[in-house]
Every structure is written in structure tokens, then in C-alpha cells.
Amino acid sequence: MSTTALRAASKGRLFEPKLIIGIVVVAVLLVISLFTGVYDIFGAQDGGEMFAITRIPRTIALVLAGAAMAMSGLVMQLLTQNRFVEPTTTGTTEWAGLGLLLVMIVNPGADLLTKMTFAILAAFIGTMVFFLFLRRVSLKASLTVPIVGIMLGSVVGAISTFIALQTDMLQSLGIWFAGSFTSILRGQYEVLWIVAIVAVAIFLVADRFTVAGLGEEIATNVGLNYKQVMFLGTGLIAIATGVVTVVVGNLPFLGLIVPNIVSMFRGDDLRGNLPWVVLLGVGIVTVCDLVGRTIIMPFEVPVSLILGVLGAVVFIALLLRQRRNG
């Protein structure tokens, strides 16, 4: 089995009628998102302007962040061959937060780019630590992997908390971590477009991640540069997680539930599933954001709270399903 063979086998299924329906549904959700909010964009004089400053950026951010986190989860699952792995169950998010916190302490006035660079760097280191650990244990299918990942995340979280407490930034830390699209405005979200590049890159090399996930020996055997692919995968995950954490915040469990739900309905066809993962990722984030914006209007519930609770419920449902199937 080679990468080209894998690709050829599933190439024809990238687009199909059902996908069009999915796209339409998500598009409708996005339009609803554009017209939901406290500010009356039709009645007020500067309605059009507000629409351009807040609503459009917010909706674009939903698309980009949702797609990026869902795809990061998928890549992690491919690389580790473990269904229950994603940036929040491996500590990647916490590492990104730690990186961000360190920049804020050293240089409180740092610009967005510096903050992001450090968050990405920390996320990269953290993901590498996790992968290194995984290479030493041969329990890829085991449920122990996410347990260790979450432990790892809470270690990093404890270090962040310690630093934040010492520098009196604890409450701000909580606010940064809580993913929310409330503060997305024109001029502040544009860096999110970086994750669009990540998404395209994942589309191009996804098959290689599958092969790399089978292990260094098998990957080398079929002529894949294992280290390079792992490095690339880790880099893409780190960039996506780092950027999203800095601009939006933490989007817990998104990367876990989306690929799992997609493969529940469509089986494990990577290439055919990719567009669905993107769509469902965007769809779920948008729905959560809409719910967050409307349930206690005129206030907002951060999307991370809704995702955290919803994600936990779906995750537990998945676990119970796995339990029944042995």
C-alpha cells in the first residue's frame, strides 16, 4: 500500500451530492450568524458599517477556527492512530496558553504576531513532547493515551496558573483561555487567515499522515520520510492551535467530536471525509456561537462553555459506544 495508491483509491469521492446539501446548510447557518446580534444593523444609521466591522469578521472567524480545529483533531488522530486524541486531550492547547502567558509577562505590549509566534512555538514543543511519549509506549489504540494527554495538559495548566498567580494575571488568564468570538473585530482577526493555509496543506498531505500513523517502520518501508511527515504534522497542528488560541481562545473537544461523528456516518475514508470534517467543524462552532449569542441576550455565553459541555456529552456518548463494541 503506497500513498499514491491510497490517494487513487478514494479520489473520485471528494465531491458528491450530499456534500452540496451540507454546504448549503452550513451556508444558511453562516447567514443567520451574519444577521444575529444586539445591534440593529438595518435600522441604525451606521448599520452597514457595524456589519462590516463586527458581523463579517466574526462569521469568517467562525469558519476559519472551526475548520482549523476540526482538521487539527483529524491530523492528530491520523498520526497517533487513536480516536480520542485532539489538541485539548494532548495538552497542546495548554502549551499554547503557556506560551501566550509568557509573552504577556515579559512584554505586556507585545503585538499580535509576537504573541502568536510564542503560542505556536509552545504548542509545537508540547505536541512534540506528547508524540515523543507516545513513541515510547506501544499502546496506540488504548484509552490510556488521552488520559495521559489530559494529565499532561493539567501539568502545563498548573504551571501557567502558578505563573499567572505570581503576576496577578489569573482572571485575565481565564478570559483568554475561554474561547469566544465576541471580541472579533475588523483589524484584529485577519491573522486567522493563516489557518486557511494550514487547512489547504492538510488537504494536500493528509494521506501521508495516515501512513505515518502506522508507525515509523511501515512508513519508511513504503518510502515515506517519517520524521519529516511527523514534523510537518506537528507544525500544522501547532500553527492552527496557536493562532486560534491567541485570536479566539480555547475550543475544547471540537477536534475530537467532529472527525468521530463524520467517521461514524461515513466510515473511515479519509479523503472523502475531509470536506465533511471541515463542514461539520464550521457548522458546530457556528451553532454553538449562535446559541451563545442568543440564550442570555443581550449578554453572550462564550462558545467554549457551550462546546465544553456539548463536547463532553458527545465524547462520553462516543466512549459508551466504544464500550459496547468492546
Partner 1 sequence: MAETTITAPRTTPKLRAGNRRSSGPLPSKKVGKRYWIVLSILIVLSLGFGFGLLAWDNPMPPGSRGFWLIAQMRASNVLVMLVVAFCQAIATVSFQTVTNNRIITPSIMGFESLYVAVQTAAVFLLGAAGVVAIQGVGQFVLQVLIMVALSVALYGWLLSGKYGNIQIMLLVGIIIGAGLGSVSTFMQRLLSPSEFDVLTARLFGSVANADPSYFPIAIPLCLLAGTGLILNARRLNVVSLGKETSINLGINHRREVMKTLLLVSILMAVSTALIGPMTFLGFLVATLAYQLADTYDHRYIFPVAVLTGFVILSGAYFIMKNLFYAQGVVSIIIEVIGGTVFLIFILRKGRL
Among residues 2, 4, 183, 322, the one that binds partner 1 under rule CB under 8 A: 322
Among residues 14, 32, 197, 313, the one that binds partner 1 under rule CB under 8 A: 313
- DSSP letter at 88 equals G
3 state SS of 269: coil
d(Cα 49, Cα 44) in Å, to the nearest integer? 10
Does residue number 28 form part of the binding site for partner 1 (CB under 8 A)? no
Does residue number 222 form part of the binding site for partner 1 (CB under 8 A)? no
Does residue number 309 form part of the binding site for partner 1 (CB under 8 A)? yes
- Considering only 11-19, 36-44, 66-74, 304-312, which stretch makes contact with partner 1 by CB under 8 A? 304-312
Does residue number 102 form part of the binding site for partner 1 (CB under 8 A)? no
- Least distance to partner 1 from the beta carbon of 72, Å? 18
Neighbours of 308 (CB within 10 A): 19
Does residue number 262 form part of the binding site for partner 1 (CB under 8 A)? no
Give CA angle at 184 (311, 26), nearest 5°. 50
Among residues 142, 183, 188, 228, the one that binds partner 1 under rule CB under 8 A: 142
- Least distance to partner 1 from the beta carbon of 36, Å? 20
Whether the CB-CB separation of 26 and 284 falls below 8 Å is answered with no
3 state SS of 285: helix
Does residue number 295 form part of the binding site for partner 1 (CB under 8 A)? no
Beta bridge partners of 178: 250
Buried b (16+ CB within 10 A) or exposed e, 179-205: bbbbebeeeebeebebbeebbebbeee
- Considering only 22-30, 34-42, 273-281, 297-305, which stretch makes contact with partner 1 by CB under 8 A? 297-305
| Residues 6 or more apart in contact with residue 191 via CB below 8 angstroms | 112, 113, 116, 243, 246, 247
Among residues 8, 28, 165, 185, the one that binds partner 1 under rule CB under 8 A: 165
**Listed residue (277, 319, 252, 275) closest to 83, CA to CA:** 319
Does residue number 175 form part of the binding site for partner 1 (CB under 8 A)? yes
Among residues 54, 88, 92, 182, the one that binds partner 1 under rule CB under 8 A: 88
Residue whose CB is less far from partner 1, 106 or 320: 320
Whether the CB-CB separation of 206 and 78 falls below 8 Å is answered with yes
Residues near partner 1 (CB under 8 A) are 84, 88, 129, 132-133, 136-137, 139, 142-144, 146-148, 150-152, 154-156, 158-159, 161-162, 165-166, 170-171, 174-175, 177-178, 252-253, 301-302, 304-305, 307-309, 311-313, 315-316, 319-320, 322-324, 326
